[in-house]
């Protein structure tokens, strides 16, 4: 199946789910119109040369500070444009080691909303797109080849603004810090800060904000929830919905090693080496390891899935297996979810038959967070019989739950009461 075929299938999902969206509570009156799509304009807007190049002096900027932005068109599929005002953004962020970085992303405001009207903001953490720069969502959305354009359209359909980070190293120079939660979570939080700077009237600092994501995005969303109290305490999160998060990447790797999806393990090795300079990868590569990793660095997820490495084992690419070395295991454990308590309400959703991220990972995360007094629940996704269908079935569940959290948070602000407690009794 080609990328275009996938995009067309996604468009069909958007059309068939329109009626369901209109029936759910807390919708704007013009819900149906947000799913109406326009044909492409005659002149496509391309990104400016050098847009993704970070400027000098990042250390002088504050986390989340907007570096630059430019208008763009966002497409559901080639030739079918989302009814949204959209911008490509570049903002200052913080890496896993605390170093200043520049990260790109996309801000979308739903069409049909009066200019200056305050909107709830959803930080949408995307699932794995790949690790090549051409896989950056801000690039794929601008040409209609992003397979997550449909769920983004459904978020816009509810009258919410959307900001989607590309993540560190995806679009911008350097390797993508794939599955490094301490980087991904900050990427999400700083995208919220940057979005509010770009559209302060529509996205006021006191306005409701929530986070959702699935797979890599679920990991990013969960980490954003954990890091928010210390890294971005000024952000009042109404809720975080994390689907199929890889809560323990140290355990997730061996599950995929040697399987059809073993390229995810190679992605992870590249990502952790990018995040932590002391994690050497190149000196341990053997056989075709160097060629394999160099090729993977240029891929999106579809290219990686069909070009390999498939059914490969890390021990055949590195000698010894780098994932078993003490420095690597220490960093993997450092990026395990469940040791830090989020202050926002958290929803986990997961298919019991997920073949990529074991359902038991969410069960353990639920137990760990509850032990810390976190307001968290876990829903087994009905209709999801594997990882991909779990995303399709879990998206509306996450949106409905977030809608209730946003409404509750907004009501508390309007009445002048304190927001409901986000913690369970310990």
> What proportion of the chain, given as a percentage, has pLDDT over 90?
72
Let me know if 198 is exposed, middle or buried by CB neighbors in 10 A (0-12, 13-18, 19+). Answer: middle
Task: Give the model's pLDDT for residue 111.
Answer: 87
Full domain range(s) for residue 207:
3-248+334-414
Task: Give the model's pLDDT for residue 311.
Answer: 63
Flag whether 182 is in a domain.
yes
Which DSSP symbol is given to 282? G
Task: Give the model's pLDDT for residue 42.
Answer: 45
Task: Give the model's pLDDT for residue 17.
Answer: 34
Spatial distance between the Cα atoms of 128 and 136, rounded to a whole number of angstroms: 10
Range 251-256 contact pairs with CB under 8 angstroms and sequence separation of 24 or more: 251/358, 251/361, 252/357, 252/358, 252/361, 253/314, 253/323, 253/332, 255/358, 256/356
Flag whether 295 is in a domain.
yes
Q: In the listed set 333, 350, 370, which residue is the last one of a domain according to the structure?
A: 333
Query: Mean pLDDT score of the chain, rounded to an integer?
Result: 87
Q: Would the pLDDT of 397 be above 60?
A: yes
- pLDDT tens digits for 357-366? 999 999 999 9
Q: Does 52 share its domain with 181? A: yes
- pLDDT tens digits for 282-302? 999 998 889 989 999 999 999
Q: Would the pLDDT of 18 be above 70?
A: no
Q: Does 27 share its domain with 122? A: yes
- 33-42, 112-121, 170-179: range with lowest mean pLDDT: 33-42
Spatial distance between the Cα atoms of 209 and 123, rounded to a whole number of angstroms: 7
- 21-35, 54-68, 344-358: range with lowest mean pLDDT: 21-35
Q: Does 267 share its domain with 296? A: yes
CB 61, CB 91: distance < 8 Å: no
Task: Give the model's pLDDT for residue 40.
Answer: 53
Task: Give the model's pLDDT for residue 309.
Answer: 74
Q: Does 325 share its domain with 338? A: no
SS3 190: helix
Residues 6 or more apart whose CB falls under 8 angstroms from that of 138 comprise 47, 72, 88, 89, 104, 105, 106, 164, 166, 171
SS3 13: helix
Q: Does 139 share its domain with 205? A: yes
Flag whether 420 is in a domain.
no
Q: Does 338 share its domain with 404? A: yes
Flag whether 397 is in a domain.
yes
Task: Give the model's pLDDT for residue 410.
Answer: 86
> What proportion of the chain, given as a percentage, has pLDDT over 70?
86
Spatial distance between the Cα atoms of 246 and 104, rounded to a whole number of angstroms: 23
Flag whether 407 is in a domain.
yes
Q: Does 366 share its domain with 317? A: no
Q: Would the pLDDT of 9 be above 70?
A: no
Q: Would the pLDDT of 28 be above 50?
A: no
Flag whether 178 is in a domain.
yes
- pLDDT tens digits for 252-262? 888 887 778 88
Number of compact structural domains in the chain: 2
Which residue has better confidence, 321 or 255?
321
- pLDDT tens digits for 112-136? 777 667 999 999 999 999 999 999 9
Q: Does 206 share its domain with 268? A: no
pTM: 0.89
Spatial distance between the Cα atoms of 82 and 7, rounded to a whole number of angstroms: 13
CB 192, CB 123: distance < 8 Å: yes
Spatial distance between the Cα atoms of 419 and 78, rounded to a whole number of angstroms: 43
Q: Stretch 393-413: mean pLDDT, rounded? A: 93
**In the structure, what pLDDT confidence band is assigned to residue 243 with cuts at 50, 70 and 90?**
very high
Q: Does 132 share its domain with 269? A: no
- 103-117, 200-214, 230-244, 357-371: range with lowest mean pLDDT: 103-117
CB 93, CB 77: distance < 8 Å: no
Q: Would the pLDDT of 83 be above 60?
A: yes
Q: Does 82 share its domain with 123? A: yes
Q: Does 373 share its domain with 239? A: yes
- pLDDT tens digits for 188-204? 999 999 999 999 999 99
Q: Does 329 share its domain with 190? A: no
Q: Stretch 139-155: mean pLDDT, rounded? A: 95
Spatial distance between the Cα atoms of 69 and 168, rounded to a whole number of angstroms: 17
Q: In the listed set 281, 307, 333, which residue is the last one of a domain according to the structure?
A: 333
Q: In the listed set 333, 366, 381, which residue is the last one of a domain according to the structure?
A: 333
Q: Would the pLDDT of 417 be above 90?
A: no
CB 349, CB 378: distance < 8 Å: yes
Task: Give the model's pLDDT for residue 262.
Answer: 87
Flag whether 422 is in a domain.
no
Task: Give the model's pLDDT for residue 381.
Answer: 93
Ordered strands of the 38-39 beta sheet: 38-39, 80-81, 75-77
CATH number at residue 87: 3.40.50.1820
Which residue has better confidence, 127 or 385?
127
CB 129, CB 170: distance < 8 Å: yes
CATH number at residue 324: 1.10.260
- 20-34, 128-142, 166-180: range with lowest mean pLDDT: 20-34
Task: Give the model's pLDDT for residue 424.
Answer: 41
Flag whether 424 is in a domain.
no
Spatial distance between the Cα atoms of 156 and 339, rounded to a whole number of angstroms: 33
Q: Would the pLDDT of 245 be above 70?
A: yes
- 76-80, 138-142, 148-152: range with lowest mean pLDDT: 76-80
Task: Give the model's pLDDT for residue 406.
Answer: 96
Q: Stretch 275-283: mean pLDDT, rounded? A: 95
CB 115, CB 174: distance < 8 Å: no
């Amino acid at each position: 199946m080609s990328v275009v075929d996938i995009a067309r299938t996604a468009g069909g999902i958007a059309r068939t789910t329109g009626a369901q969206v209109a029936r759910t509570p807390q919708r704007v009156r013009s819900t149906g119109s947000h799913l109406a799509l326009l044909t492409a304009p005659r002149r496509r807007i391309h990104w400016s040369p050098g847009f993704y190049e970070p400027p000098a002096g990042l250390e002088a900027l504050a986390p989340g500070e907007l570096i630059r932005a430019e208008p763009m068109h966002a497409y559901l599929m080639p030739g079918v444009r989302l009814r949204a005002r959209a911008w490509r953004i570049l903002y200052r962020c913080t890496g896993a080691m605390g170093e200043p970085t520049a990260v790109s992303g996309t801000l979308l405001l739903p069409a049909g909303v009066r200019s200056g009207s305050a909107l709830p903001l959803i930080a949408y953490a995307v699932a794995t797109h790949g690790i090549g720069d051409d896989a950056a969502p801000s690039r794929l959305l601008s040409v209609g080849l992003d397979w997550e354009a449909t769920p983004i359209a459904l978020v816009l359909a509810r009258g919410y603004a959307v900001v989607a980070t590309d993540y560190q190293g995806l679009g911008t120079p350097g390797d993508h810090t794939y599955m490094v939660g301490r980087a991904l979570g900050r990427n999400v939080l700083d995208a919220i800060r940057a979005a509010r700077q770009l559209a302060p009237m529509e996205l006021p600092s006191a306005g409701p904000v929530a986070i959702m994501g699935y797979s890599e995005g679920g990991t990013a969303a969960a980490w954003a929830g954990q890091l928010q109290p210390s890294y971005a305490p000024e952000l009042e999160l109404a809720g975080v919905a994390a689907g199929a998060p890889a809560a323990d990447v140290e355990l997730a790797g061996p599950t995929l090693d040697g399987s059809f999806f073993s390229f995810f393990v190679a992605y992870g090795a590249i990502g952790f080496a990018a995040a932590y300079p002391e994690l050497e990868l190149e000196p341990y590569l053997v056989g075709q390891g160097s060629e394999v990793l160099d090729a993977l660095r240029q891929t999106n997820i579809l290219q990686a899935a069909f070009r390999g490495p498939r059914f490969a084992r890390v021990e055949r690419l590195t000698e010894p297996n780098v994932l078993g070395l003490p420095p690597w295991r220490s960093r993997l454990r450092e990026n395990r979810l469940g040791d830090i308590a989020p202050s926002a309400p958290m929803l986990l959703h997961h298919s019991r038959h997920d073949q990529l991220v074991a359902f038991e990972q969410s069960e353990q995360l639920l137990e760990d967070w509850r032990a810390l007094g976190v307001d968290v629940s876990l829903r087994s996704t009905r209709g999801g019989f594997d990882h991909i269908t779990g995303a399709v079935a879990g998206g509306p569940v996450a949106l409905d739950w977030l809608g209730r959290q946003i409404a509750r948070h907004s009501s508390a602000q309007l009445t002048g009461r304190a927001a409901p407690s986000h913690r369970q009794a310990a």
